[in-house]
Structure 1
Amino acid sequence: MTPLPSQLPPEGSPERWPWLQRLRRADAVATAPWLEAVEQGSLPAASDLVAVLVEKLDGAGSARLLRWWLSLPVSSEPVVVTQRLELLDLIGRRRDPACAALLRAAIAERPSVALLPLLGHQRDSHDFACLEQLARQAGPSPLRRAALEGLAVGLSVWPQAALQQLLLELCNDLDGPLASQAVDLLARLPSAREGLEQVLGRPLNPVTEARARRRLASLPRCPLLLVVHGRAGGVIPEELQALARDLERRRRAPVRLQTLSGNVAPPDPAAPVQENVSRPLTLVPLLLLPGNHVRHDIPAIAAAWRRRGPLRRIPFLGAWPSWQGAIADELAELAASHGQDSPPLLLHHPLEPGVADRYLAHLERRCSATCQAAPYTATDLEDLALAIRGAVLPLALAANRLTESLPAALGAPLLQRPRFQALLLDQLEALP
């Protein structure tokens, strides 16, 4: 038997709630009599009834109920206003073109704090312009905040570049709560870290700045894949292992080391695939020179990992301007400590001509130094160590045959020197 509005027990009756539960469980309910009773006022539109009724309505029925709500006369009585807002929260959740059209028309006639979030809930990209204008333009603060809430509700459908630009502007707004709201929304965008760092580069009021810093600190970071030179037998020097441990602690994200060898090994098939493919793996070649590893092995490693998920690739370490600057500063201090006028010496492993020659010429100019290839054989390394006079810096990130053949005062690898260790930790920690 189809339940009818006349059968509904009145509010306050102990029979009302069980009756409404039976109505909710009913397979087929003719909703037209219920809508008509609400529209005519013969059936009070209590929130418990509406909560059940909206589940039975199709798009046309939802639009009809929303049209009824929009036609209600304006009231200034707090109790009536609260009750109507409770009803709107139930009625306006249906995503339907007819409901969206009603909301647009009502907002165009008279923008409403209650309606703007519901317009965003419709998730129609065409509504971005309206919400953006109301959030940006001078007007009542509650209305601007409601427009921003509407943008937050429909976040995934708006044009991201335009939305980010709006939020960057609102983070500096004189309305403190609105600015904080914009910071929270900016932190939800795919480019959240970039946006928050841009915001923090500008003058902000203390409350907004503190909020932006908290949001930035809480953002998850991408896992890192550090490609490094290993030693014989695949041994990873302790300074590189310590670097990975420190980075994991600082970034609160996985850091993996992969060593290079004559044959590039594919990713370990037993290793778990990235759990969150929306956050790509970041490949960082911790290599100092553009040799065969950088030009051939790194692209092969990147291709193998891309078959497992998204990958972002960073230029090799020796190409970073900040790293080259650190080498120049280190050499200048070494030359000053030796009191020498001749250019200091940069030792590197032998390289094939071509790209490497151009890079070494650039490095000599950048660092006011002389680059010299260090041979691989033990006898030649010993002879080189004996022949060295003055300031010298081995281009070796971690301990290897070259650094171990040189006197301890000269041959410490770069990661064992405070300047380079601090720079690399800071730069890698700052990656998205």
Structure 2
Amino acid sequence: MTALPSQLPPEGSLERWPWLQRLRRSADVATGPWLEALEQGALPAATDLVAVLVEKLDGAGSARLLRWWLNLPESREPAVLALRLELLDLLGRRRDPACAALLRAAVAERPSVPLLPLLGHQRDSQDFARLEQMARQAGPSPLRRAALEGLAVGLSVWPQAALQQLLLELCSDLDGMLASQAVDLLARLPSAREGLEQALSHPLDPATEARARRRLASLPRCPLLLVVHGRAGGVIPEELQTLARNLERRRRAPVRLQTLSGDAAPPDPAAPGENSPRLPLTLVPLLLLPGNHVRHDIPAIAAAWRRHGPLRRLPFLGAWPSWQEALADELAELAASHSSGQPPLLLHHPLAPGVADRYLAHLERRCSASCQAAPYTATDLEDLTLAIRGAALPLALAANRLTESLPAALGAPLLQRPRFQALLLDQLEALP
């Protein structure tokens, strides 16, 4: 179809809409004459025409049409303003470096409520600083809200930590509508639960607080799979079963335990039907040392579960900085209660050399303690009893042969101690 601007039926004509539909379906439209007619005012700007043209334009043509819009003379007439906003909404669909540069320059010269969301729509990371500044700084509320809307439409490209910090600040803003926008945007971030809980830890306007609590309550939690050592015959110690029950109650989401000797991927009773999407399963290895179980068994278990659906795997428990800090605090308290003058002992099951050696050396530095292997044979246990003269802590999450053989020297396993119970419950409850 060879179509020229002079052939376009006027607005109001019954022939106009079928003609524009033929123009849209045509594969060889020369857009130059149409752009020139708009720029010179020879062709009245109309939303139906522009809606067809924007589909035919390349990046350079889109930038040319946007430049034409930006150079239109100002008008205060409501009908003209409404038409221009409709046209701008059509023009802003194109993401192109030339369009982004035009919008950036226009915003720098004169910030405008309609332009800020379009600037965010370009999804260029260099625009984050300007949108962040305009949303944060004192100024007209419509401009601040428009800047936040720009951040919302370009959400995927902004630095997440900086964006979350901005939103946390805006949640307590005096502008209630802006604060509500910030809450809604926080709920869309990958770390939504963490962000909303952090926002709720500070005083908020009652309406904003209620909104944040609704958003938080609507966020589903992923089911947890806690992989544990277990005992002979696949028996799971009672303290681990209690942990799972308490977590399930606090998270209001499924929590299941799997021993290292158990089936790689037993049927998941919480999983929906085959045609229904499932939340990712979060696998948490409740293992304290980087032995063969962590380096070989856990990857195999994770691979088997991935055949059932999406899975996110956390590092083994002993690698968590918060866990190592808790070990250091527990040992410091034990050492203070002993007068032997010797560094406290961390007793662990024997490990193959290599990665485990480096980990144990790090743990010794972190906890100001000495790590010592503790085999389970009777002779070794007798020798170990004689060797323990000061504070000692078993690197055992739940009851095992070591803690049961030397209860007086070692005390309770870690999960039976309040510090470690609270840490695990709090950390695992906070997972998405």
What TM-score results when the alignment is normalised by the length of structure 1?
A: 0.69
Contact 1:350 1:374 in 2 (8 A): no
Q: Is the 8 Å Cα contact of residues 223 and 279 (structure 2) preserved in structure 1?
A: no
**What is the CA-CA distance between 1:142 and the residue it aligns to?**
0.2
User: Aligned residue for 1:159?
Assistant: 159
Q: Which amino acid aligns with 1:83?
A: L
The match for 1:59 is 59
**One-letter amino acid matched to 1:62:** S
- Residues 259-338 of structure 1 aligned to structure 2 (within 5 Å): 259-261=259-261, 267-268=264-265, 281-285=282-286, 296-305=292-301, 310-313=312-315, 315=317
Give the superposition deviation at 1:302.
3.4
Corresponding residue number in structure 1 for 2:95: 95
CA distance in 2, matches of 1:150, 1:179: 15
Contact 1:266 1:301 in 2 (8 A): no
Residues 294, 64 of structure 1: alpha-carbon distance in 2 compared, 3 angstrom cutoff:
closer
Once the two structures are overlaid, the 10-residue window that deviates more, 293-302 or 28-37, is 293-302
Cα drift, residue 117 of structure 1? 0.6
For each residue in 1:40-73, what CA deviation from the matched residue of structure 2 results, as whole angstroms up to 9, or x when unmatched? Answer: 2222221111111100001111111111111111
Report deviation, 1:7: 2.0
Listed one character per residue, the Cα deviations across residues 248-277 of structure 1 (whole Å, up to 9, x for unaligned) are 57546553321134xxx68339989xx999
Determine whether 1:374 maps to 2:376. no
| 1:9-408 alignment runs, 5 A limit | 9-228=9-228, 230=230, 233-234=233-234, 244=244, 247=247, 251=251, 253-261=253-261, 267-268=264-265, 281-285=282-286, 296-305=292-301, 310-313=312-315, 315=317, 354=372, 361=391, 373-375=403-405
**Is the 1:248–1:254 Cα contact (8 Å) retained in structure 2?**
yes
The 1:426/1:130 distance shift into structure 2, 3 A limit, reads closer
Structure 2 CA distance for partners of 1:87 and 1:29, relative to 1, 3 Å: same
Deviations 1:96-122 (A, max 9, x none): 111111111211111000000101111
Contact 2:59–2:98 under 8 Å retained in 1: yes
How big is each residue's C-alpha offset from its partner over 1:332-360, in whole Å with a ceiling of 9 and x where there is no partner? xxxxxxxxxxxxxxxxx9977826789x9
User: 1:62–1:99: 8 Å Cα contact kept in structure 2?
Assistant: yes
Give, in angstroms, the shift of residue 232 of structure 1: 5.3
- Secondary structure of 1:221's counterpart equals coil
Is contact 1:38–1:45 with CA below 8 Å preserved after alignment?
yes
**Residue aligned with 2:81, SS:** helix
Q: Do 1:248 and 1:255's aligned partners in 2 also have CA atoms closer than 8 Å?
A: yes
**Cα RMSD after superposing both structures:** 4.3
Alignment partner, residue 405 of structure 1: none
- Cα shift at 1:151: 1.0
The aligned amino acid for 2:162 is: A
- Rounded to whole Å, the distance in 2 between the matches of 1:190 and 1:295 is 32
- Structure 1 residues 7, 251: closer, same or farther in 2, change over 3 A? farther
Contact 1:247 1:425 in 2 (8 A): yes
Distance verdict in 2 for CA 1:61–1:154, change over 3 Å = same
**What letter corresponds to residue 298 of structure 2 in structure 1?**
A
The alignment covers a number of residue pairs equal to 362
Q: Indicate if the aligned counterparts of 1:8 and 1:19 stay in contact, CA closer than 8 A.
A: yes
Deviations 1:373-416 (A, max 9, x none): 4359xxxxxxx9xxx9xxxx97597xxxxxxxxxxxxxxxx79x
- The answer (yes or no) to whether the contact 2:349–2:373 under 8 Å persists in 1 is no
Deviation at 1:9, TM superposition (A): 2.0
The sequence identity of aligned pairs, in percent, is 70
Cα distance, 1:278–1:108 mapped onto 2, change above 3 Å: farther
Q: How does 1:403-422 map to 2 (within 5 A)?
A: none
Moved more, 41-50 or 51-60: 41-50
| Superposition deviation, residue 284 in structure 1 | 4.6
Query: Where do 5+ consecutive residues of structure 1 fail to align?
Result: 326-348, 365-371, 377-383, 398-413
Equivalent in the alignment of 1:329: none
Following superposition, the deviation at residue 191 of structure 1 comes to 2.5
Distance, in Å, in 2 between the alignment partners of 1:355 and 1:200 is 45
Q: Which runs of 5 or more structure 2 residues have no equivalent in the other structure?
A: 330-346, 351-370, 375-383, 395-401
Kept after mapping to 2: 8 A contact 1:134/1:143: yes
